[in-house]
């Protein structure tokens, strides 16, 4: 799959402030496969996208945008899948400016394999105006202002930069899955200290790839305990979670969630393969975890490797090997909590105890940091031994599943024609509204306007009488509001 043309043309100048950006490809795009990963496979410096969509033959993607005067822009793709299954052969980037000329400065250097042994060919270099390492927890891609492909010999040049402070990053999608996830130990990434452009270009700025190895629960306990000393004295540990766990019980990211100030505030300690951090919890999550019992005894818990081995032998391996469509992905999550409000409601276990829980799920991707499971196999395990106590197999239609937090999922499919499903999750009984708007803010439809019990809900939106374009949908309750976009293609 290759790029045939783009508008504006590469390196165009004096581009109108209100315009349409488009890229045409040699084959029809698999819009269903791409809908779940656009935030991770598409990057640009565009900051005011009014609407976006695809041509009727699905060979062209477009966006109607409002640009700023005398500013340079880039649009980049490092992954794209065709309906035939073909992939974009090389990462793609092009530039244009609304000014009479581009910014005059550049950053150049070489990307090295380092100890990873991964060739820099096929990788990309981005330049951000924020420290990416301190941007954790924010949804969507980092705010890149420059982008370029790396040459076969490892050299690169990021053009059209102005004076300022920047943070460079090099990345390579080694496993060609359309996602940059070095925490899983396959893809590679390179960071560097900040650079300052001051009336001159920067050369010989080299980047060296790093890879990361997931960590077991036992490997992160002491790190999390040390960081917890910086939290308020009345802190209470409510839940421990490991995301994207492998079959050896290792996770790319472990989270220790605390409440304090009489359960009115909360923070999480995240220990990941790239380092550790502490961040504030949102109110919706606090409202849920404050119902959980304080966690004790986790330092002597069964190893995460033992828990996963028991789950694998108890049916997890068979679930993991089930075939999946491109729209879904497989994940394993580990958690330590009392597990009363979760996957095992009505299972008849002793709710006064703390347990290990394992979730084998099929999910679809919502954002860079969020996904929604649609079916799963769940194991409740003894905290001390890891032995399986309860096994559950469920889908989101099971009324016994109580969500962990308020959430509005990305509609599925997206883009869609003529109807799509919108899922949302309520951890407690709430009065909610779910409304659809056009890009001008006009209300198009009211899908929900009533009190709902805690649970997972799915609403069908029929757009057969509407024209193609981007629409906005908003879920509102007394404790939560979230807005998302969807695209109708006819």
Task: Establish how many alpha carbons lie within 13 A of residue 234's alpha carbon, considering only the half-sphere containing its beta carbon.
Answer: 7
Q: pLDDT grade, residue 346 (50/70/90)?
A: low
Range from 232-246, 307-321, 425-439 carrying the lowest mean pLDDT:
425-439
More confident residue, 478 or 389: 389
DSSP per-residue codes, 112-146: E-GGG---STT-EEEEESS-GGG-TT-SSS--EEE
pLDDT at 133: 60
- Give pLDDT tens digits for 3-14: 999 999 999 999
Looking at the DSSP assignment, which residues form a beta bridge with residue 46? none
Domains contained in the chain, CATH given: 3-208 (2.60.40.1220), 215-395 (no CATH), 407-488 (2.60.40.1930)
Mapping DSSP to helix (H, G, I), strand (E, B) and coil, where does residue 468 land?
A: coil
Would you give the end-to-end CA distance of the chain in angstroms? Answer: 23
Mapping DSSP to helix (H, G, I), strand (E, B) and coil, where does residue 460 land?
A: strand
- Quick check: 370 pLDDT over 70? no
Distances (CA, A) of 236 to 61, 281, 353, 471: 49, 13, 16, 42
Task: Determine the average pLDDT of the residues in 287-311.
Answer: 93
- Specify the DSSP class assigned to residue 341: T
Spell out the residues 6+ positions from residue 223 whose beta carbon is closer than 8 angstroms to its own. Answer: 271, 276
- Give pLDDT tens digits for 168-217: 999 888 877 777 777 666 788 888 888 999 999 999 999 999 877 889 99
- Quick check: 382 pLDDT over 50? yes
pLDDT at 137: 42
As a residue count, the chain comes to 490
Taking the mean position of all CA atoms in its chain, how far away is CA 12? 32
Q: Identify whether the C-beta of residue 247 lies closer than 8 Å to the C-beta of residue 237.
A: no
Q: Is 177 left (phi over 0), alpha (psi -120 to 50) or beta?
A: alpha
Range from 135-144, 229-238, 327-336, 473-482 carrying the lowest mean pLDDT:
135-144
Mean pLDDT of the chain: 86
Residues 247, 253, 259, 260: is their CA dihedral positive or negative?
positive
Q: Is 389 left (phi over 0), alpha (psi -120 to 50) or beta?
A: alpha
Say how far apart CA 304 and CA 383 lie, in whole Å.
10
* Among candidate residues 450, 446, 476, the one with its CA nearest the CA of residue 461: 446
Task: Determine the average pLDDT of the residues in 343-356.
Answer: 81
Helix (H) or strand (E) holding 475: strand 469-476
- Give pLDDT tens digits for 350-363: 888 999 999 999 88
What count of other Cβ atoms lies within 10 Å of the Cβ of residue 391?
17
Report the share of the chain in percent with pLDDT over 70. Answer: 90
Range from 138-142, 393-397, 463-467 carrying the lowest mean pLDDT:
138-142
Q: pLDDT grade, residue 270 (50/70/90)?
A: very high
Q: pLDDT grade, residue 36 (50/70/90)?
A: low
- Specify the DSSP class assigned to residue 312: I
Say how far apart CA 382 and CA 377 lie, in whole Å.
17
pLDDT at 339: 86
């Amino acid at each position: 799959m290759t790029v045939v043309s783009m508008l504006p043309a590469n390196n165009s100048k004096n581009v109108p402030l209100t315009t349409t950006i488009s890229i045409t490809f040699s084959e029809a795009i698999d819009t269903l496969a791409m809908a779940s990963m656009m935030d991770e496979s598409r990057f640009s410096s565009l900051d005011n996208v009014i609407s976006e969509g695809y041509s009727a033959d699905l060979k062209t993607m477009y966006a109607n945008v409002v640009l700023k005067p005398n500013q340079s822009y880039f649009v980049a793709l490092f992954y794209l899948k065709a309906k035939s299954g073909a992939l974009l052969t090389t990462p793609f980037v092009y530039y244009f400016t609304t000014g009479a000329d581009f910014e005059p400065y550049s950053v150049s250097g070489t990307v090295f394999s380092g100890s990873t042994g991964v060739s820099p060919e096929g990788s990309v270099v981005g330049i951000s105006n924020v420290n990416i390492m301190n941007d954790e927890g924010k949804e969507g891609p980092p705010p890149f202002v420059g982008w370029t492909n790396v040459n076969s010999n490892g050299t690169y040049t990021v053009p059209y930069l102005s004076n300022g402070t920047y943070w460079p990053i090099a990345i390579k999608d080694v496993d060609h899955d359309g996602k940059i996830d070095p925490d899983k130990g396959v893809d590679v990434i390179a960071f560097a200290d900040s650079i300052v452009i001051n009336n001159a270009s920067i050369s010989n700025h080299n980047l060296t790839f790093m890879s990361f190895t997931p960590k077991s629960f036992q490997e992160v306990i002491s790190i999390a305990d040390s960081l917890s000393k910086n939290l308020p004295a009345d802190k209470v540990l409510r839940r421990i979670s490991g995301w994207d766990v492998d079959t050896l019980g290792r996770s790319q990211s472990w989270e220790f969630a605390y409440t304090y100030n009489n359960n009115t505030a909360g923070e999480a300690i995240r220990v990941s393969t790239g380092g550790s951090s502490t961040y504030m919890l949102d109110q919706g999550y606090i409202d849920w975890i404050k119902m959980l019992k304080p966690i004790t005894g986790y330092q002597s818990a069964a190893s995460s490797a033992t828990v996963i081995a028991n789950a694998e032998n108890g049916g997890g391996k068979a679930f993991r090997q089930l075939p999946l469509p491109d729209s879904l992905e497989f994940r394993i999550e580990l958690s330590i909590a009392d597990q009363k409000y979760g996957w095992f409601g009505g299972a008849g276990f002793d709710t006064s105890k703390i347990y290990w829980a394992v979730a084998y799920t099929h999910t679809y991707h919502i954002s860079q940091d969020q996904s929604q499971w649609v079916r799963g196999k769940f194991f409740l395990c003894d905290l001390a031994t890891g032995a399986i106590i309860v096994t559950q197999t469920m889908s989101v239609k099971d009324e016994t599943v109580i969500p962990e937090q308020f959430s509005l999922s990305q509609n599925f499919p997206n883009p869609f024609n003529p109807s799509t499903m919108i899922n949302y999750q309520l951890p407690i009984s709430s009065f909610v509204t779910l409304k659809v708007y056009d890009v001008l803010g006009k209300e198009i439809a009211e899908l929900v306007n009533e009190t709902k019990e805690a649970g997972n809900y799915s609403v069908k939106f029929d757009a057969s009488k509407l024209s193609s374009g981007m629409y906005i949908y908003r879920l509102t309750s007394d404790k939560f509001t979230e807005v998302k976009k969807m695209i109708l293609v006819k």
